[in-house]
Structure 1
């Protein structure tokens, strides 16, 4: 019963996403456009250039990631948290810059506000989660408690 309920929820999410304009073609366009911008960015470009040797492979992985998030495709498997923790210099400013470029890309190419809002909100949640994981890795739960207290 649980699996049937989960399958129905995934099917509804996918149908809703498709109805507002989120599909593999848009995800591909978004990922390609966004990472073109990132690669040219003075802040984020060098971080990616140092770590990504095979851009076509990375872009395919990112398309699968976003399809899994937005369309429940299940095509992505991996551990984004581990990858981001391994980048020692990442901090709030990097995530803010990433989000800013993401939002600018969405403003430029999203077919409507609903699509832009869904991708923006998902990216915010993911970014906050990754940043929290990084902070915990660096300073334990005390780092999160100190942040919440301020």
Structure 2
């Protein structure tokens, strides 16, 4: 019997902790489906997604893999979310704030417990902050992250 590597043990531990909170592929699937339903119906974010997502089936599968990788350490997701979001153009804190509102509302509806919801909330906050920072740096260099953002009208 081979001994598990440190990374494999850490992955298994994170998966077990998530599963103990009720976080599994079924929950992630339900969360992603409901969340992107809310996104598509949203006046601010819906048009952005409509112009960038031609086929929702593979997009939803990809987002399920992403969230499984984030919360379960599944390792199924491969890609560069930063480049995808930079390519959208025009995204600012207003968009990420709205994304987080819809995400948290969806979690309120589907998470099996507040502890499970908190895992997703904290990850989403980190991700939104990271993406917004990357977008700002791409637009204006490192100085851009220390300047207050100008609000754009949509």
SS of 2:147's equivalent?
Answer: helix
* Mapped partners of 1:113, 1:141: distance in 2: 36
How far did residue 58 of structure 1 move? 0.2
Poorly superposed stretches of 4+, deviation over 3 Å: none
How far did residue 89 of structure 1 move? 1.1
SS of 1:95's equivalent?
Answer: helix
Q: Deviations over 1:93-148 (max 9, x none)?
A: 0000000000000001111001111101100000000000000000000101334x
Q: Give 2:133's aligned residue.
A: 132
* Mapped partners of 2:109, 2:10: distance in 1: 31
Q: Give 1:39's aligned residue.
A: 40
Q: Give 1:12's aligned residue.
A: 13
* Mapped partners of 2:107, 2:16: distance in 1: 21
Structure 2 unaligned blocks of 5 or more: 149-154
* Mapped partners of 2:25, 2:17: distance in 1: 14
SS of 1:53's equivalent?
Answer: coil
* Mapped partners of 2:38, 2:147: distance in 1: 34
Indicate whether 1:115 and 2:134 are aligned.
no
Structure 1 unaligned blocks of 5 or more: none
Q: How many residues end up aligned between the 2 structures?
A: 145
Greater share of residues in helix: 1
Q: Give 1:56's aligned residue.
A: 57
**TM superposition score normalised by structure 2:** 0.92
Q: Give 2:100's aligned residue.
A: 99
Q: Deviations over 1:31-90 (max 9, x none)?
A: 000000000000000000000001000000000000000001111000000000011110
* Mapped partners of 1:146, 1:43: distance in 2: 24
Alignment of 1:61-72 (within 5 A): 61-72=62-73
